């Protein structure tokens, strides 16, 4: 497993308002180059640092966008607001629909949908009974990868990739198998994944 390295934190390049430090890029607006206002984070593949896991996925909060641009859904033009309403909802993370019933995902991913999963029933895909936490799309495709330091507040992977036990062994990224079946090993999970 890689050593955690803390790179110099990202910060503003100068403090134009009365020399005061602000944690946003003062003066930047859409169309300008962010790098002229903000020291951008650098990531080296293979290194786990404050911001990134070794495979370039988010290790820190507020990086849902960095994750999401790596996903197939992003490449197909599905925007953040297919799932979120930035103006506020009663659901966790301003989701437009609660995640509990899989309702939001199933709108585009019902069994047999051309978007997948390519199965006749959702249970066939998840290998768990409906209603079980193991049948929730987010349990496997958006696992909690890091606690952002606030108790109970977790970051959910936004690459939508399935994190395999091999990724855990190699890069230290938590996989959903072991996060749920806490008494089991990565070897056990790999065996089931193969089946």
Q: Which residues bind ligand HEC (CB under 6 A)?
A: 64-65, 68, 72-73, 76, 78, 80, 82-84, 92-93, 95, 99, 102, 104-109, 115-118, 122, 125-126, 128, 134-142, 154-156, 158, 160-162
Shorter beta-carbon distance to ligand HEC: residue 57 or 64: 64
Shorter beta-carbon distance to ligand HEC: residue 13 or 28: 28
Tokens standing for residue 95: 């989701």
CB of 57 to ligand HEC, least distance (A): 12
Shorter beta-carbon distance to ligand HEC: residue 43 or 161: 161
CB of 137 to ligand HEC, least distance (A): 3
CB of 185 to ligand HEC, least distance (A): 17
Q: Is the CB of residue 38 less than 8 Å from the CB of residue 13?
A: yes
Q: Is the CB of residue 149 less than 8 Å from the CB of residue 155?
A: no
Nearest-10 Cα torsion for 116, 117, 121, 122: -120
Shorter beta-carbon distance to ligand HEC: residue 25 or 143: 143
CB of 103 to ligand HEC, least distance (A): 9
CB of 30 to ligand HEC, least distance (A): 16
| Residue from 191, 182, 146 nearest 164 by CA | 191
Shorter beta-carbon distance to ligand HEC: residue 47 or 95: 95
Phi-psi region of 131 (alpha: psi -120 to 50; beta: other; left: phi over 0): left
CB of 164 to ligand HEC, least distance (A): 7
Shorter beta-carbon distance to ligand HEC: residue 83 or 173: 83
Burial (CB count within 10 angstroms: exposed 0-12, middle 13-18, buried 19+), residue 71: middle
| Residue from 132, 87, 129, 137 nearest 108 by CA | 137
Q: Is the CB of residue 165 less than 8 Å from the CB of residue 191?
A: no
């Amino acid at each position: 497993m890689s050593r955690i390295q803390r790179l110099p934190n990202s910060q503003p390049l100068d403090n134009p308002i009365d020399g005061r430090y602000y944690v946003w890029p003062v003066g930047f607006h859409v169309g300008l180059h962010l790098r002229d206002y903000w020291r951008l984070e650098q990531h080296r593949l293979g290194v786990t640092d404050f911001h990134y896991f070794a495979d370039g996925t988010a290790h820190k909060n507020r990086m849902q966008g960095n994750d999401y641009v790596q996903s197939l859904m992003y490449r197909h033009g599905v925007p953040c607001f297919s799932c979120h309403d930035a103006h506020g909802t009663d659901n966790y993370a301003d989701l437009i629909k609660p995640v509990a019933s899989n309702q939001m995902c199933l709108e585009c991913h019902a069994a047999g949908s051309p978007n997948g999963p390519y199965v006749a029933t959702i249970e066939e895909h998840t290998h768990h009974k409906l209603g079980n936490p193991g049948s929730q799309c987010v349990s496997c495709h958006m696992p909690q990868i890091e606690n952002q330091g606030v108790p109970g507040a977790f970051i959910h992977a936004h690459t939508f990739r399935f994190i395999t036990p091999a990724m855990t062994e190699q890069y230290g990224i938590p996989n959903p198998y072991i996060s749920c079946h806490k008494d089991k090993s990565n070897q056990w999970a790999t065996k089931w994944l193969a089946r």
